[in-house]
Amino acid sequence: MIFTLLQVALGGAIGASARFLTNVAVMRAIGPGFPYGTIIVNVAGSFLMGVLVVVLAHKGGTRFAPFLMTGLLGGFTTFSAFSLDAFTIWERGQIALAGAYVAGSVVLSIIALVLGVLTMRGLLA
């Protein structure tokens, strides 16, 4: 159990660092005003989750799930930050924009996960 916990902790540290660096890069590239970094991270993380769930199952690599899925992607994806961003936009009185942000994040993340699963099933079939 302690080894699994260490895998999750290490993956989480790496994932959180990657999330931070992604947000900084997006902020520098696009600028402030809308949480583009958060939505990019959520969509990319969902795609990667779809890829990993197929690859790990297909290759018998489920022993890596704590590090890769729970740790790395759990640290990388940012639904807690997503919630704060949605609330902040709503609190600024931009109700329609907040709704679009929530709907876009959820729908695009689910689509990305499905595309990840279908992509890897096609490649590994």
pTM score of the predicted model: 0.82
pLDDT of residue 45: 94
Query: What per-residue confidence (pLDDT) applies to 79?
Result: 86
Residue 78 is predicted with a pLDDT of 79
3-state secondary structure string across the chain: CHHHHHHHHHHHHHHHHHHHHHHHHHHHHHCCCCCHHHHHHHHHHHHHHHHHHHHHHHCCCHHHHHHHHHHHHHHHCCHHHHHHHHHHHHHCCCHHHHHHHHHHHHHHHHHHHHHHHHHHHHHHC
Give pLDDT tens digits for 70-94. Answer: 999 999 997 888 998 999 999 999 9
46-67 mean pLDDT? 94
List the chain domain ranges.
2-124
